[in-house]
Amino acid sequence: MKQRVLIVYLSFWMSCYSACADSQPVATPTLYRGVAVASLPMERRNFTQGLYIANSELFVSSGQYGESAVRVYQWPSMTLARAVDLPQSVFAEGLTLQGDRLFVLTWRENQLLILDPVTLATRSVGHIGSEGWGVTHNGNHLWLSNGSDHLYRIDLLGGAVTPLKVVRNGRPVTRLNELEWIKGKIWANVWMTDIIVVIDPDTGFVESEIDLDGLLPEADRRADTDVLNGIALDPETGGVWVTGKRWPKLFRIELQQRD
């Protein structure tokens, strides 16, 4: 029943988007440079959309029509443990693991897939009222992005949808993509940039901005190497790992404050 409630409320996403009032707060973010302090190998075939570390495993969603898949690696050895190809009609986007449910968004198909994290079998398919880009969670709430300047908090118990407008220095931040909940904040890739923004989930303020320009060395780039995308918190060590689409490496980063 809870799952059915979630699907019903998600179908009203866009009506809530247009009806809810927006605020225009002004806050100046702290600027950081992200510096690689460790790396691990990553399969280049992953057109990485979502990353999540749990139970000594790394969950990866890989996109593209006809190529979308979910792959699970032993962590941190990066040995492939299991994988599933998704239907050729969907373009996989972000993913997150909450309890015994692996949530995987699709891009233009307006779907939220719920997979068994052990077997990777699809349990059910929910429908949302917009494109799916990134997803994360903080316990009983999912947070979703759709490429706009809004995030959406979904109550997994009651199904209520709450939009949050994201602003930097009072201006909306668009193209919010892959998401990760880290220490009470939402980290988000900004698509087509080397920037990660750190968002206060209560106000929508961008509190910090992390510049990862040059993180992947030029020697590791090929013709099909795409943009930075993918953020994962290692719950055992507290380390933050990032990667990109068809990157050969994952990087653990530390932050250095900029003037």
**Which bin fits 55, alpha (ψ -120 to 50), beta or left (φ > 0)?**
left
Q: Which domain holds residue 124?
A: 2-257
Closest CA to 187 of 148, 223, 224, 241: 241
Within 10 angstroms of residue 35's Cβ, the number of other Cβ atoms is: 13
Query: What share of the chain in percent tops pLDDT 70?
Result: 90
pLDDT tens digits, 144-168: 999 999 999 999 988 899 999 999 9
Q: What separation in angstroms does the CA of 160 have from each of 6, 16, 129, 156, 184?
A: 8, 10, 14, 8, 20
Backbone angles phi, psi at 59, to 5 degrees: -95, 130
Q: Would you place residue 2 in the very low, low, confident or very high pLDDT band (cuts 50, 70, 90)?
A: very low
Indicate the residue type of 197. V
pTM of this prediction? Answer: 0.91
Closest CA to 67 of 42, 41, 48, 82: 48
Residues whose CB is less than 8 angstroms from the CB of residue 100 and which lie 6 or more positions away in sequence, other chains included:
116, 117
pLDDT tens digits, 26-75: 679 999 999 999 999 999 999 999 999 999 999 999 999 999 999 999 99
CA 258 to chain CA centroid, Å, is 25
Indicate the residue type of 82. R
In whole numbers, what is the pLDDT of the chain averaged over residues?
Answer: 92
* 249 in Cβ contact with 42 (< 8 Å): yes
Least confident of 8-17, 23-32, 176-185: 8-17
Residue 15 has pLDDT above 60, yes or no: no
Radius of gyration of the chain (CA): 17
* 5 in Cβ contact with 158 (< 8 Å): yes
Q: CATH no. for residue 234?
A: 2.40.128.630
The number of distinct structural domains making up the chain is: 1
